[in-house]
Amino acid sequence: EGETTLQVELANKDNVILYQNQPNPFDGSTVIRYFIPENISGNMYISFTDMYGKEIKKLEIKEKGFSKIEASTENLASGIYSYSIIINDKVMDTKKMIKNK
State the pTM of this model: 0.83
Q: What is the residue type of 7? A: Q
- Which residues lie below 8 Å from residue 91, measured CB to CB, with a gap of 6+? 84, 85
Question: What is the pLDDT, as a whole number, of residue 11?
Answer: 57
Of 16, 34, 19, which Cα lies nearest the Cα of 97? 19
Q: What is the pLDDT of residues 62-78, one digit of tens each?
A: 989 999 999 998 888 99
Q: Could you report how far apart the first and last alpha carbons of the chain are, in Å?
A: 46
